[in-house]
Amino acid sequence: MDCNNRAIVIFEPIAGTVWLSKHELAQLFGVSIQKVNACIDGVLQAKIFSAESTCRYDLFVRNNRIRYDVQEVNLAIILAMVYQIKSSNAEILRKWLIEQLLSPKAFTLGMLTENQNYLLN
């Protein structure tokens, strides 16, 4: 909270992403670890993201069945969770994300020829 009692979001990606543990996610969203587990399972079951590319996990194989024991998730999963969890903290994050997306920013796109900068609006 800042001096005006407003929530503050500090976003500091490392190597292009953010990794959070289940305990950190529970604290971030203000929900139980069981809710975090259910949400992660739901996101992964939708098969939009693969666990291999978005999670740090322990792998268990039993009777030809593979189970991922997720330890940490990256920014892609966190963003999906923001829109699946109903809590005041998740609402704050949703508002912050929308503000960030709607605020004017200049981006340099690597796929363009060098020395070309475009302003996305």
Angle (CA) 20-43-98 rounded to 5° is 70
Whether 114 has a pLDDT exceeding 70, the answer reads no
pLDDT tens profile 52-102 = 999 999 988 888 888 888 999 999 999 999 999 999 999 999 998 898 888
Rounded to a whole number, what is the largest CA-CA distance in the chain? 56
Q: Where are the chain's structural domains? A: 20-120
Yes or no: say if 37 and 22 are a contact pair by the CB < 8 Å rule: yes
- DSSP-derived letter for residue 11 is -
Instruction: For residue 18, give the 3-state DSSP assignment.
Output: coil
Yes or no: say if 49 and 39 are a contact pair by the CB < 8 Å rule: no
